[in-house]
Structures are given as structure tokens and as C-alpha cells.
Amino acid sequence: MALIADRLYYVLGVIVFLAVWQAASVFKLFGSEFSESFSPVAAMLALIEMIKNGELVHHALPSLRRVLISLSFAVVVALPVGVLVGYFKRIEQMTYVVFQFMRMISPLAWMPIAIIIFGVGDVSVVFLLWLVAIWPLILNTSHGAGRVSPLWVNMSRTMGARDAGILRKVIIPAAVPDMLTGLRLAVGVSWIILVPAEMLGVPDGLGYFILDTRDRFRYDQLMATIMVIGMIGYLLDSVNRWLIHKFSWKI
């Protein structure tokens, strides 16, 4: 019964949100001319239209592809770097200032450089998303690797293990929960940055489609696209939360 009650509260929260949104449209808080197009009813009707004519799939799949590719590259680079930074104190000292400096730079500031180096298109978008994703992964992985009990490390050395074996058998398994937390953060910020990144001249994607709906004055489709972005982001975060729950462990 408690589980059912919890689920009902989730549903109630969504209903209240939609009711407030609809009321804001009815009372023309979005402006007297366009409030009707911004309503959840109009957005849902536009979403059904986008599903039927294939526009939703046409733009959602490229966005997901770009995010997944950038995350794959970020994982390949960030996880080994994070483990080394967390395990070796000297490497942590050498990289601390540089990493903190680099992660504080907005990825959008790299847009002109991305266009100059890679040109307009998918590669520039993937590069920007990679820049977004790499820092949460590095920092969370290094945190997980660095907080492993020295007792475990000393016991492994006593049993004859070298650094490579300790990293493979002790440090990396112990850091998995932090790695997954970093992945969750990386997915979240990548999905947020996706929309402005896809305004770099790509011919498809949810970010591109938002500009397209604005230019065509299809504000109902614009709101529907925003809803889709939020729903996909929620699903991606739910998958990450499930992974964290499944692979986390307690000492």
C-alpha cells in the first residue's frame, strides 16, 4: 500500500504541474497572442502530429546518437584518467589546477573553436558534448579511486600485488559506484547542452527542430519538442539511477 501511495504522489505532482501550465495559458500569462499555442493541450496534439508524420523520430534519433557517441568517447578517456589521478598522489597534484581551470569554462565558449577546427556539423556537436561529459566522469572517478581504504591497498601489497594488479582488482571495482554517479551527471549535462550545440548548423536533431518550429511560428510543436526533451532526459536519468542502485555497494 505504501508503494502505491508513493506512486500516486508522483502522478499527483504531474497533474498539478499540467494544471498550473494550462491555467497559465488560459489566463494568457504567455502573452495574449500566443498563449493558446503554448498550452499543454496544444503541445500534446502537436506531439501526436509529430509522431504520425515521423518528425519526432527523425529528430530524436540523431540527438540520441550524438549524445551516446560523445559519452562513449568521454568514458574511454575519462575513466582511465580518473583512476590514475585518484590512485597516484603526484598525478593528482600535477593535474588539479589544470582540471579545475578547464572544467569551469563553459562548453558553449568552445563553439567558435569547434567550428574553426571541425567545421559545421556532427563532429563539432560531438566535440562540445564530449567536453561537457568528460569532467564529471574524471572527477567522480578520481574521487572514488582516492577514497579506497589504504588498508585494502596495503593488504594487496603484502600479498605481492603490484600497482597494475591493485588498480585492476581493488581500485577500479571499488570506484564503480562513483563512476556511475559521474556518468549520471555527464548524461544530464550533455542532454542539457545538446540543444544549443545542435544550433551549430546540423540539419536535424531536437535542438535544430526548436529553431525550425520557431521560424515557422509552430509554437505548439516547439512546446511539444521541449516536452520530448524533458521526457527523454528523464528516461536517461532513470536508467542511470537504476545502474547506480544495481551496482552500488556498502562497506
In the block, cell 554517479 appears at: 181
Which three cell numbers mark 37? 499555442
136 has pLDDT over 70: yes
Instruction: Answer yes or no: do 175 and 189 share one domain.
Output: yes
Query: Long-range contacts made by residues 156-161, C-beta under 8 angstroms, separation at least 24?
Result: none
Look up the CATH number of the domain holding residue 178: 1.10.3720.10
Least confident of 91-100, 103-112, 167-176: 167-176
In the structure, what pLDDT confidence band is assigned to residue 224 with cuts at 50, 70 and 90? Answer: very high
Q: Which domain holds residue 17?
A: 1-36
160 has pLDDT over 80: no
User: Do 83 and 175 form a contact (C-beta atoms < 8 A)?
Assistant: yes
Instruction: Answer yes or no: do 14 and 114 share one domain.
Output: no
Instruction: Answer yes or no: do 14 and 113 share one domain.
Output: no
Which comes out higher in pLDDT, residue 1 or 55? 55
In the structure, what pLDDT confidence band is assigned to residue 187 with cuts at 50, 70 and 90? Answer: very high
Closest CA to 115 of 102, 125, 105, 103: 125
Instruction: Answer yes or no: do 56 and 31 share one domain.
Output: no
pLDDT, position 200: 73
Q: For the chain, how long is the longest CA-to-CA vector?
A: 75
pLDDT, position 151: 78
Least confident of 26-30, 111-115, 191-195, 219-223: 26-30
Instruction: Answer yes or no: do 6 and 64 share one domain.
Output: no
Instruction: Answer yes or no: do 212 and 114 share one domain.
Output: yes
Instruction: Answer yes or no: do 79 and 31 share one domain.
Output: no
51 has pLDDT over 50: yes
30 has pLDDT over 90: no
pLDDT, position 3: 65
236 has pLDDT over 70: yes
pLDDT, position 250: 52
In the block, cell 562548453 appears at: 107
Instruction: Answer yes or no: do 12 and 133 share one domain.
Output: no
Mean pLDDT of the chain: 88
DSSP code of residue 107: G
Q: State mean pLDDT over 151-155.
A: 76
Instruction: Answer yes or no: do 199 and 104 share one domain.
Output: yes
Q: Counting Cβ atoms within 10 Å, is residue 138 exposed (0-12), middle (13-18) or buried (19+)?
A: buried
Instruction: Answer yes or no: do 91 and 161 share one domain.
Output: yes
Least confident of 10-14, 124-128, 233-237: 10-14
Instruction: Answer yes or no: do 15 and 116 share one domain.
Output: no
What would the pLDDT profile of 4-13 be if each residue is shown by its tens digit? 777 888 888 8
Closest CA to 220 of 49, 17, 105, 8: 49
Count of domains for the chain: 2
Instruction: Answer yes or no: do 98 and 193 share one domain.
Output: yes
What's this model's pTM, rounded to 2 decimal places? Answer: 0.87
